[in-house]
Structure formats: C-alpha cells, structure tokens
Structure 1
C-alpha cells in the first residue's frame, strides 16, 4: 500500500464579514441592529487546505507526494473553465502558475478574460514577527471573494509547500471527484472537517493514529459517495 497521504481540509460557511474584522475600525458591538440587517443573509465563503505526507521518508508538504503532478492535474480538471492569473502573468497551466509563485504569493482563478486588481495586495506577509500588513491583505482577499474569484495561496510547509484556497462558492464537490479517481493507487486521501481540530497533533494525525483517525477525518475510497 502507498505510504503517501493526501489531506484536504475544508471549512464551509465561514462568515465573510469576519474575514477582515481586525481591519475594521468600527466596533460591531456598538452598532444597533435594524430589521433590514436581520433579514439580510450573511455572506459566507469556503476555505480549503491541501497538504500531503510522505510517511516512508517522513516528509511533509503537498509537493513531496510522488503523485504531486497527477494531483495538480486533477485540480486543473476541476477548474478547467477558469483562467489562472498571478502578479506576473496569465498561465494556461495551473501547475506552471504554482511553480512561478514564491511562498505567500497568490493565484487568482476567474471567469474574467483579464484580472484588473493588483494581485500583490493579496500576498501574505511571511515574516511571522510582523503582522502590520494583515488587515491590508485580508481586505483585498475579502474583495476578491466577494467578486466571485477563487484565491489560491502557496504556503510554507515543513519540507516543501502546501496550497490554501478561498472561494465564495463551495467548490468541494467540483474537486472531490477528480481527486477521488487517484485513489487507491496514488495516495490515501483523507477529507477532513476543519472544525474538528485546532492542534498541530491533529494536523499530523497520520503519524500517530493513521488506522484510527479522529472523528471528522474521513478516508476517501473509490466507492465513497457524497
């Protein structure tokens, strides 16, 4: 059996108004709620985190998987109708766009023929000791999500990089079936409800309880149905 583990961590129905809350000067507790505010549905978004583990060599990161190229091709097929933009250019290949990014930089997946925003405003600040630009990128991220763009970040992992995605539409189903086709031959695929854990120990569950994963950590098999 393969020793590669692929994990898709999902957070659904995240409130968009909480995304850049720290950048808002107004204290929401001081606002008086009106009937109109009460009747207005709360805009939400979904967040996905893609990561992998090579158990044989104890390496961690999406790109350490031996089937990394096949995995990215599966994601490409899920978003085959989207254009991929980085700060530098538009790319026809999803994988080429990822390879062009530095850690903390962004790909925009969109239906538009050109992307009018300054994508660099979405980039993460990778200096963990300096959070001065957090409100800046979160405001830009919220705007991109509101405008129906999918935002994909290249983020640091222990031995390579992972990917993190933000989308107003819940695109889980779009990704699930192309990724499911890669099991069991390419990797073991775990679909994880992000609300079920918040510790590093749970994040690396495959190193200590692979055969009995925690509640909410579901292994995907060829026969798995949604």
Structure 2
C-alpha cells in the first residue's frame, strides 16, 4: 500500500509542477507589462492636458424689474443669482444679512409682495415685477418704524446681526395675524434664530408693535 501511494504521489508531482510553470511569470515580463501600463497612463494624461474639458462659468443674463422700497429698478441679472445677492451686491442694500445662506437662520428675511421670505433661497429672476421691502425701507423721514422703535425699547437685540431679519419677519408675523399672544409669536417667529438669545425682548417688541398697529 505504501509503495502504491508513493507511486501515485510521484505521478502527481510532475502535473503540479507543470501547472505552476504554466502560470508563473518572470520578473522581466512583469516589468515590461508595468512599463506598458505607465506609458498608456502617461499618454492619457498628456492627451487630457492638451484638451481640457470646457467648463461653463456664466449663466444667462436678462432683465428683471423690481420695485425695491418704493423705487422702480430695472436690472440685468444672472439667472443663477439669489435675490439676497442682488440686494446686497447689485443694489448695495446690505442691511439684509447673509447668515447661513441655506434658509435656516432667517437673517435674510425680507417682504416680497407683502409676504416674508428668506431671500437666500429664491432667485431674483423669479420675481420680475415684484415689490420688495427691506429693512432700509422702513424708516420714514428720519423716524424709525414702530416695530424698529419697539425693538429698541424692549432690548430685542444684542449684536444686531439677526435684527433686520427679525424685524422684517416680525412685520410679516403681525400682518398675518399671528401676534395675538406671546405663544403665537414664538411659534411663528421660530424660523428666525438669535444666537445672542434675545428672544424675550424680540417677542415683547412684536407684541407691543402689534398692539399699536
């Protein structure tokens, strides 16, 4: 039995060696193959450099007519520009603040046709013919708007960065009939964030202005 096993083992060895030899690759062959791959990669890179992809960096520009704080304006606006950027960069109305630029903080709130919106999330080209009101349009003949005055009296601000958005949103809140109680005001003003935490003064100012209006 032992001799038979040895015989079978000896017969199997040449087959195993033959199989290993058939798949073995010399070091020279590997280096030649690698060199070919590197050459192809270099060629592709050179071709890519000689003809870089074309990237479009400009949008379509067209006329947009806005009535901003009572003044008619006709502007040439890039179709990708937000209403916030047009107000700040084209019209130099920097009272409207750019906070998160994602519609989460409310610092850029303005009134469009009487309705409060966050101006960072809407394109200027979508509001052709609209009436826009920003914080700069509230003061009349050197006198503060009643809500602005109420913010001062009730200390509804600290650093002041969020204040323009708070006031414009407060105007919308009052106009919508959502300022009947402190609870209503807190709920309907929840989209406006004050990182200084001046919420008690903000709520009191809006409640006071609502009673006066």
TM-score, normalization by structure 2 = 0.24
Higher-Rg structure is: 2
Q: Which structure has more strand as a fraction of its residues?
A: 1
TM-score, normalization by structure 1 = 0.23
Q: Which structure has more helix as a fraction of its residues?
A: 2
